[in-house]
Amino acid sequence: SQQGEEDPQALSIQEGENATMNCSYKTSINNLQWYRQNSGRGLVHLILIRSNEREKHSGRLRVTLDTSKKSSSLLITASRAADTASYFCATYDTGTASKLTFGTGTRLQVTL
């Protein structure tokens, strides 16, 4: 079963705009990660945020984590056509040792 639910399921924006994706999860977590998947390819790790962190940045990516609401958001600033992909959140919960559970994903389309 899916641990995380991403919102929205699909997002279409123009190049240069910001894209925000949200993820909600159900259990207590050790950390939360975001991955990108280009069509027909494997997943690529983007960023990891630990349960005691509230915000993290990496280049044009900004991730927030609210453990009280069991939610996270991924912000991509100044989007580019190359950012077109599916984005997934994934969590390691505190109960299972090494089981990374993925959400349902957000399909992002960035148009010129």
Partner 1 sequence: DAGVIQSPRHEVTEMGQEVTLRCKPISGHNSLFWYRQTMMRGLELLIYFNNNVPIDDSGMPEDRFSAKMPNASFSTLKIQPSEPRDSAVYFCASSSQTREKLFFGSGTQLSVL
Positions in 5-64 near partner 1 (CB under 8 A)? 30-31, 33, 41-45, 48
- Of these, 85, 105, 106, 108, which contacts partner 1 (CB under 8 A)? 105
List C-alpha distances in Å: 77 to 17, 68, 83, 108: 7, 26, 10, 13
**104 forms part of the interface with partner 1 (CB under 8 A):** yes
- Tell me how far apart the alpha carbons of residues 37 and 26 are, in angstroms, rounded to a whole number: 23
Helix (H, G, I), strand (E, B) or coil at 40: coil
Contact status, residue 92 vs residue 3, Cβ threshold 8 Å: no
- Tell me how far apart the alpha carbons of residues 110 and 112 are, in angstroms, rounded to a whole number: 7
* In the complex, least distance from residue 106 CB atom to partner 1, rounded to whole angstroms: 12
CA neighbours closer than 13 Å in the CB half-sphere of residue 64: 10
Nearer to partner 1 among residue 16 and residue 99 (C-beta): 99
Positions in 64-103 near partner 1 (CB under 8 A)? 88, 92, 96-103
**106 forms part of the interface with partner 1 (CB under 8 A):** no
* In the complex, least distance from residue 45 CB atom to partner 1, rounded to whole angstroms: 4
Write out the residues near partner 1 by the rule CB under 8 A: 2, 30-31, 33, 41-45, 48, 88, 92, 96-105
